[in-house]
Structures are given as structure tokens and as C-alpha cells.
A and B are shown apart, each in its own frame.
Chain A
Amino acid sequence: MTTRASSSRKGGANRGAAIDTSDAIPLRYGDDPYVWACWLYYEDGMTQGEIADAMGVSRATVNSYLAEAREKGIVQISLEPARLASLTIAQELKRHFGLTDCLVVPSDDNARPLIDRLGVAAAQALPKLLKSGDTLAVAWGRTVLSVGEHADIASLQDMTVVQATGGTTATFSYTPELCAAAIAQSVSARCVNITAPAIVKSSAMREMLLDEPLLQEQFETLARANRVLFGISSLRPNSTIHTSGFFESVSLQHYLAAGAVGVVAGRFIDERGRPVAGPLDDRTIGISLDMLRRIETRILVAGGFDKVPALLAALRGGYANVLITDAATGHGILRADGVTGLDGRLSQKPRVTQAPSSYRTHVKKFLNNPNQVVEEMLDGVVRAHAGYLQPINGSNRALVARNGPRPGKVGLVIGGGTGHEPCFLGYVGKGLADAVAVGNIFSSPPPDPIVQCAAAASGGEGVLFVYGNYAGDVMNFEMAAEIAEEKGIKVRTVLTTDDIASSPVEDREGRRGVAGNFFIFKIAGAACDRGLPLEACEAVTRKANLRTYTVGVALEPCSMPQTRRHNFEIGPDDMEIGMGIHGEPGVTRERIKSSDEITDSIMDNIFKEMKAASGDRVAVLINSFGGTPMMELYILFRRVAQRLEAKNIRIEANWIGHYCTSLDMVGASISILHLDQELTELLHHPCETAFLRIS
């Protein structure tokens, strides 16, 4: 039988020879006609007709074997994931918005800036979109300029490029004039500029200018455009619209209030893509939205999450029929428009149809009344650590250090949500924090207990507030500071922002505060205890914050006592580098690696920012998020110490354990405090608290 099958493979030589299928399956395929059919088709390259002959079945049967084999997962066709995702997204964008064409750049690496990648992609697409003799209108923006910089198309003749809007002052590199010129050069076109400002002082001025024969001629060229290339600006604070100074901010506020979400060729549109009327309309010289929409090929090149609402608006309004973007943005647009079911198609992981019967949805916890966990915990805390702290006015939500506050000393008040124990209350005591305000789980305390802390901590020389940079904490502590000031207590605030993964270095002030709090509180407490004045305490605390670098890695999510469910998910083989202490996403979610590889990637990030020289000293904190045992923390520390040693950076002091947790999250963070003489002395200053004692 085996010979029979193998001879038939060669071009189906034994065509027509009737055989019994059940006997005909060569042994190596077991009893499975699917495997046999697939082997002949995919490996031996036979046609379905030849396979039918070889197997002695009909062609239709072969066809259904092959189809079922794919469904059953006997055969899996794999495309490189990033490419598959971008193709799927492009196809879906094209279908969903009725586009003529759509090109999606894979979001596989961030090695090159997005604007460059979009420029390259559009440059490659342009030859397919343009024909000799075309008139191409060109709007302005960073992305459009990038297209011009990357495109070089020699094959086109008799091209005209026309600037789509009036001009601007050349305070930035992507003016309408420069964009048009760059594109014109790259397609060897004649360039027609609109020789008037994009925005003039009054509508009368606009009328007068448009009456000029020269401008009329330029607008006639613009009206002949059969292609247009444009980008889009969002109205977010850091968008081109704001940074270019192109529009006055007063007018911008008007458009924002009227619901504008984006700007296309200098015109504002709302979330449905409808034009938004405003004070600049009859002072703007350039293509109108109606003119734009009448152009045959309308190529929109843009990417970035900030632009998603604007892009969605432009697509809804029909301003573009060719879209060039990146996979992440494309995916965002589809999700924003409620397209579901895409996620399943973006990866080829085998689908899990049924959860195993042992699958559990709830996490076990020691609980009495889930709504009373914070109160019950605080009752325990106050009993356990009565030697260090006590309630203020009978409330466990505001705790003051025994022997902490004293006349003439600046008071240190810390605080935040619960679920991070021993943060924050574990650091209250002589030589460290004077008082702590306690909120609900992962949730800031209200101003009242904070004010009580301020009053209790005050020794007449002012109070320093130090807490993590989270919107809720900032609002409540700010309100508390206002009230305390009204009561005659001088308050200064330092927000901790040590999580270097939470925002790029340019947005340092937007970073969140995590386990590095430990060092920052220690320095602040020591400064206060030494009797330094408020300003000096604030200054050295700021310095400590600036020199503290933390990166966390989460392996498993945490679960809330009220729900006993995970409050986010991490895949079975994944980890998230840079995750915050409430489960906020970090830099990357990737497959879990060896401990040393993880440590190295964290330390590389820290070294990138910490400019430590050979011989410098640091303090190291290896902190568990709650679920990671000491054993693993020491493994992390081992590698951290090796890395520091290799750079000849000395570890002045180290702490390993649970210092700032996230309930039962599995994971850890590494914090490094880059010491100098002053910080070293303050670090060694004695303190007595429940979780940190230095004598």
C-alpha cells in the first residue's frame, strides 16, 4: 500500500485506479485521512485533483478534508504576527470606513520614530496613488513633511503640487510652504504656493486678498487638484496645533467648547466629522472642507494614540479615502468606533473554547466583612504598633507618631490609599513621618484626616506633605493644604515621581510615585528630625525624589478584597515591565524571561537615567508587590549587586522585603537611590518606626 501511494504522488500517474480508501491510507498517516490529504497538499505540493486520485476520493472530499484540517488545527498557517496584525487592521479599516485603500505599518518596534515610519510608508505608497499629470494638493504638518523627506519618485511627469492652505511664519520646520516644496521636489512637480497667510486679521482682509488675480489663479490650481495629501492634528495640549502657535489659544478654546476634536487642513471638525464653526472661519485662507471632500483621491497620513479621536472624526466625515497609519493607531480607531472581535483575529493563538473545570474565578482571602477590611486592618495596626503610632482624635484614618512631633520641628505628613502596606503607616515614628492619612483601598484619603494629620504634626515650623503623584491624592492633599493654611499651618508639598517607567523623562513630573517612596520619606523624615527649616526640608526631599529610580515588574495581578477577583489580567506566559502599584500598565508586556534577564532590563532602564559614576554610592530597595517571596527577591538582589559592582558603584545600604505592596500582586520592584554626601547622612539618621529602624 505504501508503494502504491508513493508512486501515485508523482504527478498522479495512476489516475483512475480505483482503490478502497480505508485500505489506502499509508501507515505513517495513522488512520487519519486529514493528515494524509494535508501532507500531499502542503508538503508534496500536489493539486487537489491529484490528491483525489491518490486517495481515491472525490475532489470535493479532498477540499473538505483540507478545510476541516485547518478548522481542527491539524494545519496551522502562520504569518509573522506583526504583519498579520497590520494586514488584518488595514483590511478592517478599509471595510469599516469604505476606504479605497489603506496601508498599516506594523507596530513591531519603536526603534524609529513613528513619524519617520509613516513617512517611509507613505513614500512607498505614493507611486501607486499618483499618476503623471496629476495635481496634488498638499497640507502641512510634521507627518506630511516626513513624507516629502522620504519620497523620491522619478517616474512621474507633468505633475503639479499645490499648497492647500496659506502660509505661516517659519518658526517651525513643517510650514505649508516647506511641506509643499518637499513633496514637489520628491515627485518632480511644479510647485504652486498660496502666497497669502493662512490666517489673516479680518474677514475683510481675506475678501480683499482672495480678490487678487494672483491668488485667484492659485486657487484655480487648487480647485483642479485630483489628489490631496494631508495629516491631521488633534486638539490635545501637546499637539501641533498648540505647539506651532498657528492658532490663537483664545480661538482654540472656542472650538474646543464647540466640540472640535481635530483639525484638517486648518479647519476644525467635531467627533462626527462635521465642520465646527468659529471665529477663524472667515479669516482662514486655504482649502475648504467641501473642496477637500470633492477631491478624487484623499490621502490621510497620521498616527499616534492622541490622534485617534481626530482620525476617527476625519474618517467618519469622509475626508479621507486612503489612510496610511500604524497598527496601534489603526486598532485604536476601530476600537473607538466599537468594532469588536478584532482582537481574536490579530493573533493566531489556538482558541480556548472551554475553561477547564478546575478554573476558579475567586481568590481566597482572610476576610470577615469585605466592606470593613480597611477598618479591621487599622484596628490591627493600631494594636500591633501602639509603640510607634496612635490615632488622632480617636480616628484610625489619621495616625500620629508617638514622640514624633515636637515644637520647632517641621512636621512630615504622608499618606495615600491602603493595599500598599507597610506603606504608608509603617513609616510613621520618631525620625521619620510624624503622621499618616489613610484612605480606602487604592484610593486617596479625603482632606479631613489629612488636615488632622497636619495639625497633629505641626510644631509651629510648618508641615511637609510627601505623597505619590496620583490625581486623587493630589486633589485631596491640595484641598487639605488650603484648609491647613487657613488654620495658620504653613504647608509645602513634594510629590513623589520615582516610577521611571510610567512616563518618558521629558514628562518627569507626570510620573507616579511607587516603592521609591521608602527612600524619599526616609530622607524627608531625617531632614525634619534634624530641625532643618521647611524650605530646606522641601529642597532635600525634592532632591531625593529626583535621585530615586524605580521600575516594577508584575507577574500576576492583584485581587480586591471586595470582589476577590483580579483587577486586571496578565497572560499565563507574560509579565509586564514597568507596572505600577495599582496595576497601571508599564512599558512593555512580554513573555516572561529569566530573573537575570528581567533584572538586566530594569537596570538598563535605570542606568539610562541615573548618571552614576564609578565610585558613586547608592541605596537599593528590592520590594515585593505582595505575592513574591523573599527567595526570589534575593535572586533579584544578587543580579542588581552584580550589575552595580561591574560599574564600581558601591551599595551603601540595602533593603529587601515587602516595603510598598499592591495587595497580593506577584511581582517586584527595584528602587535605587543615587546618594550624595547629604543624602547619605540623612539616610543613616536614626529612626524608629514599625517597618524601618535605624539606630
Chain B
Amino acid sequence: MSENAVRRLIAMFEAISAAVETEKDHLSELDGAIGDADHGTTMSLGFLAVKAELAKIDVDGAQPADVMATAAGAFLNAVGASTGPLYATAFRRAAQALAGANELDLGTTAAMIDAIGSGIRERGKGQRGDKTMLDAWLPAADAAGAALTDNKASTEFWSEVVAAAEAGANATRSMVAAKGRAARVRERSLGHVDPGAASAVVVLRAMASVLS
């Protein structure tokens, strides 16, 4: 079982990396409107490093938490910028949430999504409405919690999580950035989707494609 969960998590990161490669230019374009046009490149660098590092992992001996911890370290050292510490902290918290878990049932999955969201919130000291990736991750975490409570099946669970993230990311269009470099452009950030929220949707969709 553990082996299965480890393989699925590795497959999940591979899917994320592939999805980010596809969306790379689009994400950089979004960033160009309000930042320094490197978000696609940064995300791509980070997940390629994660993929490379996970290729070295001992699949049979590892626990799900090890996959997350490895991803955290790889992402951090590949990226820097602000995305690095944010996702690295997110995956580190996810590793803590997965500690001891051998299976990826929906309860564990919901805890993992929640840990990612709260990791990003702690590191970035942000909140909803700041026009950041939190505007996608926090609603996704809430939706996961709600779907779990309602005993939703895996497919529905994930479609609700992804839908919540998409709605959250779209809502950033009408927000004024409060964090990061986009906060410096103040009102000029209006009307643009936050690239971090958009990439969070890409990540969650890829997670859903493997885990649902």
C-alpha cells in the first residue's frame, strides 16, 4: 500500500511538472502584466528539479512523507525567488501532514491540500484577498474539507477542489495585489489574474488527474 501511495505521489509530481511545462509561457505572460514575467520559468525550474530528485528515490523503502520532503528540498534549492520558499514550505508541511501515513485516502489527501495552503500562508504571511496563490489554495483546501465531510467520492472530491481553486483564481482579477512585487504596481494589478493563483490551478488540476 505504501509503495502504491509513494508511486502515486511521484506520478503526481510528474504530472504537475508536465502540466507546468505546457503552461509555462502562459504563466510567464500573466506575470509580465504585473510582475517580472518569470513565473512560468520559475515554476518549470522548480518542478523539473523535483522530478529529477524524485527519480533518485528508493520507491520501495520510502514513505509518502519522504516524497513530500524530497520535493520540498528540491524545489527550494532550484528556485529561490519567492515561489521557492512558498512551495518548499508548503511541501514540508505536507510531509508533516503525511507523516506515518501509508495510504493516500481522501482524508490524507484533504490534510495534504490543507497543509500546502497553510504552509504557503505561514511563509508568505498573507491571507485571502491579497491576490496571491493563496486565493486558489485556501478555497481548494476548504472545498477538500467540505467534500470529505460530505463523504464525496474521489472524482467528485477532486472536481470540487479544482472548481474552488479555479473560482478563487478568477476572483483575483478584481483584487489589488497586497504582497510581493505585484503589490508595487498597486492598481495596475487590477483586471489581471494573479499568476501564482493561476499556476496553483495548473498544479491542482494535475494532482486531480493522477489522484482522482
Contact = CB atoms under 8 A, between A and B. Distances in A.
Nearest to B178: A236
A336 B190 contact: yes
Q: Closest 6 interchain pairs by CB?
A: A472-B82, A475-B85, A335-B191, A336-B174, A446-B80, A584-B184
Interface stretch (A23-31, A191-199, A559-567): A559-567
16 contacts: A257-B142, A337-B174, A338-B173, A442-B38, A444-B81, A446-B84, A472-B83, A472-B84, A475-B84, A476-B80, A476-B85, A479-B88, A479-B89, A512-B184, A560-B37, A584-B181
Contacts of B142: 257
Could you say which of B88, B127, B178, B184 has the most chain A C-beta atoms within 10 Å of its C-beta? Answer: B184
A148 interface: no
A563 B171 CA distance: 29
B181 A446 contact: no
Given A257-B128, A306-B176, A309-B175, A443 B188 contact: no
- Interface size range of chain B in the complex: 35 or more
Interface in A206-259: 235-236, 256-257, 259
Contacts of A256: 127-129
Interface string A572-600: 00000000101111000000000000000
A311 to B, nearest CB: 10
B50 to A, nearest CB: 14
A328 B187 contact: yes
A445 interface: yes
B180 interface: yes
Interface in B76-103: 76-86, 88-89
B120 to A, nearest CB: 11
A149 interface: no
A583 B191 contact: no
A328 B173 CA distance: 17
A337 B188 CA distance: 13
Contacts, number: 123
A470 B174 contact: no
Nearest to B171: A271
A471 interface: yes
Contacts of B179: 471
B184 A580 contact: yes
Contacts of A476: 80-81, 84-85
Nearest to B41: A562
Given A259-B128, A338-B173, A471 B181 contact: yes
Interface of A: 235-236, 256-257, 259, 261, 271, 305-306, 308-309, 312, 328, 331-332, 335-338, 439-448, 470-472, 475-476, 478-479, 502, 512, 560, 562-563, 567, 580, 582-585
Nearest to A236: B178
A475 B124 contact: yes
Contact of B36 (A306, A332, A442, A512): A442
B80 A445 contact: yes
Given A257-B142, A476-B80, A567 B32 contact: yes
Interface of B: 32, 36-38, 41-42, 76-86, 88-89, 123-124, 127-129, 138-139, 142, 171, 173-176, 178-181, 184-188, 190-191
A470 B82 CA distance: 9
A235 B129 contact: yes
A306 B173 CA distance: 14
B46 to A, nearest CB: 10
A591 B38 CA distance: 30
Nearest to A261: B129
Contacts of B38: 440-443
B171 to A, nearest CB: 5
B76 to A, nearest CB: 5
Contact of A446 (B78, B174, B186): B78
A443 B190 contact: no
B192 to A, nearest CB: 9
A437 B84 CA distance: 15
Given A332-B190, A335-B191, A336-B173, A479 B85 contact: yes
